[in-house]
Chains A and B, each alone.
Chain A
Amino acid sequence: MSEYKAGSNLEKVLKAGHFAFTGECGPPQGANIELLKEKAGHLKGCVDAVNVTDNQTAVVRMSSWAASLVLLQEGLEPNFQMVCRDRNRLAIQSDILGVYTHGIRNMLCLSGDHQKFGDHPESKNVFDIDSMQLINTVKTMRDDGKFLNGKDIDVPPRLFIGAASNPFAEPFDFRVYRLAKKIEAGADFVQTQCIYNMDRFREFMKRAVDMGLHEKCYLLAGVTPMKSVGMARYMAKQVPGMEVPESLIKRLKGAGKGKVAEEGIKFAIEQIHEFEEMEGVAGVHLMAIEWEHRVPEIAERAGVLPRPQV
């Protein structure tokens, strides 16, 4: 057996002790493969792996596994996301086998946004299992070589298991325990919700480190640069479980006309630098939503290039 759990590039980078840098790419709302390739192209060479979202915000898009395969062909390493909203345990397990067969090695396990605010609110949801159980399913399939029903798998899939954590959702005191629970369930790495409230995140990390969670799992801090004051306000008010401090909104406003985006990027870079120094943080997950073309610049200015070859 190899020294790696799955042997993905991301796993190797983390295991070698490098500060990881991951990106994100939303599949197109259609079969526009050229658009997907273009978006992904910006990330090439800048990140260790690219999260491929799964009908994010419950809006129908090209399936995450299919888009992940396109990324693979383009020479990028996908971090295949899967939500529990749209599949029962049969579909979940068969998709896991399928993606592994095609060379996908990272998988991020999520519950998924409720369909109520998506583009098909009339749909029925599944939620046969939850994200915690999904993490454990992938682990059981990989480490025990068994399906959820206890039956043996003929060639088990070997995936590097990711989970999400929202340090800002409530109840705050329980969040770090829920993170511990995800690690216990089988998460190898964790990517957090976008961080804006640094004080709160420092507190969260302190608790995680006190509990020794950073030794059991790689924690990647989530960063999304603000493009505008409107976006900051929207995030503050409309996105459940998101915390944007008033001081940040003020800072963006203070930048003046035409300079807000630059200020947003500056803040993101400052964050990345702080995360590099922060105990327990193993990397950054950059979610530059519909801003993929700015990723090379951000990576360059943050000083995370070139990415390590492992």
Chain B
Amino acid sequence: MNDFKPQIVAFCCSNCASSAAAVADGMKKTLPDNVKIIQVPCTGRIEILHLLKAFEQGADGVYVAGCQDDSCRYISGIKKAAKRVAGVKRILEEIEMDPERINIFNLCAGQGQRFVEVAYEMINRLKEIGPSPVK
């Protein structure tokens, strides 16, 4: 469609998303190199500031991949993360940037396929939105 290659930062939970990544690897499905993975012990540890910093440094999009709401290793980590993502969406809206530049996804450890899909979902969405105005 267009050759814009969005730079994406993905915060991934080491319990589910990362094992999903390993499964994906085994299936020979690899992530495109414009998605930079940051592994975190639990998505509940991701602060609004971490997410903002990615945008500040020019990321076109950011996402959080963590457990299912009811299977978070640390019980409520993913729910906290969802609230913070929503918080960043609000901030983006306030400064007139597309809130769809950030999102959160719930995964399970075995879902290698889904792990890769999510990345492409974000890439496609960001291709539509276009490059970040923050450069």
A–B contact via C-beta, under 8 angstroms: no
- B positions within 8 Å CB-CB of A: none
- A positions within 8 Å CB-CB of B: none
